[in-house]
Chains A and B, each alone.
Chain A
């Protein structure tokens, strides 16, 4: 039984607590937390404008706390003490208040984390269909990669594509175990992740929804143009990406054209004793 998944080492402090200093007496001589002085707290110009625009949308500026922390996390990669100080100085709140908000929500991280987030849903529907095994495979695939943060997550609201994962906000599924390697490969190559399994191309399952006059579905590798129901295009849709028709497994010609990062060589793809030309039997 692997219902509880793999246990990671949890740092423990006094009395087995996971919170450092929880039983230390309060230092009454220390100055109380105050709102940082905007004049002494430099804030990147884009971030400041973004937070101010958020604050203007609400009757109470505090409502912008979550959007502001999202914006800061976007800039710094995590809610660092500096990032929280900067948000606090723009919003005129104490850093303590913002920290209390940041620690409540799963999407904010108050410790440094890798850039790319892979949230693997391990809730009921997904785990019935093998999400726990996929989570293990994903941890193994991303092991040692400093840019990939693999996290098990509660229901992400896509049980129709179970087991699924959210890769930098893009929902992909249903996943097979060998998709874990591909997700990491796609992230390293900075191309859209598992494009043929993205939720945005999925049709409704309801048989009452007529099929004529619709022309989308999972992207057809043969067609030159893909229908994007979202109409937005995958994030980072720029000229330099391989293009929507690129197969997930690149051919040797394409590999020559778009060499993959050095860390990932043919050796990884084809274990010793197997020549690259041999057909892969694990598909």
Chain B
């Protein structure tokens, strides 16, 4: 069923006129006729889990917000930076009003009158579209004082980031929104208790908020019938890498992964076979072609030893080596680590160096054991999960493809023996990106 991608290619859908012609903002009217508690119970009934990565139920997140007259904030997390993820980009570009309507309804349910939308700085076109859509919504009275004659008021500010993966982490995002470096904070207190400007803050992903109008339109119970009992609803999945038809696909959760990768995305290129795949962005432990029949939902992915994450499938075929992909993963996290916690800052950089040693023929199979133990020491020892996000896929690659990595170590050693000295990357000289300081 298409809820988010329903006729999403319709020309002009990003304008208020077309969106309203298709019944846009009717859900908002319906919600404002109910009490905030009734709207919240619909969201609770829907059982929708956060689409940004953690999969925390949205209704429960709202219910954690304290009641009272203090200033509360809603932040829409549009800092979509997880490698392989590009679902929010398409939603914001083609149907910005659906997201805005979701923000207004969620703020009504949570009793919030100030909202911010933090979009990554690279999404310049999408930010322009959203800014135009917000201006239209303000003009039409969907945002502002006493929305549609109700008691609910809301202001919505679009905030552009400037290129930092860590700002997609909710507390890093809050620091960045406060005008600081985007360093994650110690939790607890969780943002629902003390977040932006020390006020209670509700943070949700774009896709989660954009689903809210559909939940109100259908009713929470009816929405919950889609998908599986513990992973309700539809999910936009970004499929990329070595597939014939990469793109965003909206599926009912619980669809078989094989159908998603082969049926919708066309499978690998002719003559190629899937070697492994990331089911939920580069942060998720990799699965192999033996796991293709796992249903694509939160719990089945967890049972298979991975996670649904942000819903980004990256397929790697047998023309690529595991080392090549592991290097990309490690380089990314070493570059994006904010440097606040030692296990992450050092762990990501040393993992990268160890992988480079393998590549340059200086490693021994023992390095794989050291690398695996480094990953174990990162997990759970930092303020946020950026380090874990590297440790999980790298750890799973070492565990699942140890034979291939050992063969690679041997092959690289043989290559290096005949090579000139300058072909070998000197130990200790980090890659141009690996480090907390910008290099030019």
Does A67 lie within 8 Å of B80, measured CB to CB? no
**Complex Cα–Cα for A58 and B84 (A):** 32
Does A107 lie within 8 Å of B8, measured CB to CB? no
Does A124 lie within 8 Å of B245, measured CB to CB? no
**Complex Cα–Cα for A162 and B161 (A):** 23
- Least distance between A1 CB and chain B CB atoms (Å): 6
Partner among B10, B11, B83 whose Cβ is within 8 Å of the Cβ of A124: B83
The interface residues of chain B lying within 8 Å CB-to-CB of A89 are: none
**Complex Cα–Cα for A126 and B326 (A):** 14
How many interface residues does B have (CB within 8 Å)? 92
Does A107 lie within 8 Å of B121, measured CB to CB? yes
Within 8 A of B (CB), among A197-223: 199-200, 203-211, 213-216
Chain-A contact segment, one of B43-51, B137-145, B330-338, B380-388: B330-338
Considering the complex, give the chain B residue whose CB is closest to the CB of A166: B122
**Complex Cα–Cα for A122 and B431 (A):** 14
**Complex Cα–Cα for A60 and B159 (A):** 14
- Least distance between B260 CB and chain A CB atoms (Å): 11
Any B CB within 8 A of the CB of A256: no
Partner among A66, A171, A209, A214 whose Cβ is within 8 Å of the Cβ of B179: A66
The interface residues of chain A lying within 8 Å CB-to-CB of B264 are: 206-207
**Complex Cα–Cα for A113 and B438 (A):** 13
Any B CB within 8 A of the CB of A125: yes
The interface residues of chain A lying within 8 Å CB-to-CB of B165 are: 154
The interface residues of chain B lying within 8 Å CB-to-CB of A215 are: 11
Does A125 lie within 8 Å of B176, measured CB to CB? no
Does A65 lie within 8 Å of B179, measured CB to CB? yes
Interface string of A124-148 (1 = CB under 8 A from B): 1101110000000000000000000
Considering the complex, give the chain A residue whose CB is closest to the CB of B249: A206
**Complex Cα–Cα for A208 and B2 (A):** 7
Q: Which of A3, A62, A69 has the most CB of B within 10 A?
A: A3
The interface residues of chain B lying within 8 Å CB-to-CB of A8 are: 432
Any B CB within 8 A of the CB of A109: yes
Given contacts A62-B180, A229-B93, contact A4 B356 (CB under 8 A): yes
Within 8 A of B (CB), among A4-57: 4, 7-8, 10, 16, 18-19, 57
Considering the complex, give the chain B residue whose CB is closest to the CB of A2: B324
The interface residues of chain B lying within 8 Å CB-to-CB of A261 are: none
**Complex Cα–Cα for A203 and B356 (A):** 39
Q: Which of A58, A61, A103 has the most CB of B within 10 A?
A: A58
Interface string of A88-125 (1 = CB under 8 A from B): 00000000000011011111111101000001001111
Chain-A contact segment, one of B56-64, B234-242, B289-297: B234-242
**Complex Cα–Cα for A226 and B71 (A):** 46
Given contacts A157-B85, A162-B246, A213-B7, contact A111 B440 (CB under 8 A): yes
The interface residues of chain A lying within 8 Å CB-to-CB of B93 are: 200, 229-230
Question: What are 27 A-B pairs at a CB distance below 8 A?
Answer: A1-B323, A1-B359, A3-B324, A4-B356, A7-B431, A18-B439, A58-B157, A59-B114, A60-B179, A64-B179, A67-B159, A106-B163, A107-B122, A111-B440, A124-B282, A125-B246, A128-B241, A153-B122, A154-B83, A155-B84, A157-B81, A157-B89, A159-B86, A206-B249, A209-B2, A214-B9, A214-B10
Chain B residues with a Cβ under 8 A of chain A? 2, 5, 7-12, 14-15, 71, 80-86, 88-90, 93-94, 114, 120-125, 128-129, 132, 157, 159-165, 176-182, 197, 238, 240-242, 245-250, 264-265, 278, 282, 312, 314, 316, 320-321, 323-325, 327-329, 331-332, 335-336, 338, 356, 359, 425, 428-429, 431-433, 435, 437-440
Chain A residues with a Cβ under 8 A of chain B? 1, 3-4, 7-8, 10, 16, 18-19, 57-67, 69-70, 100-101, 103-111, 113, 119, 122-125, 127-129, 152-162, 166, 169-171, 199-200, 203-211, 213-216, 227, 229-232
- Counting from the closest, the 9 A-B pairs by CB-CB distance are A205-B247, A159-B240, A106-B163, A105-B162, A62-B179, A65-B179, A169-B124, A155-B83, A107-B163
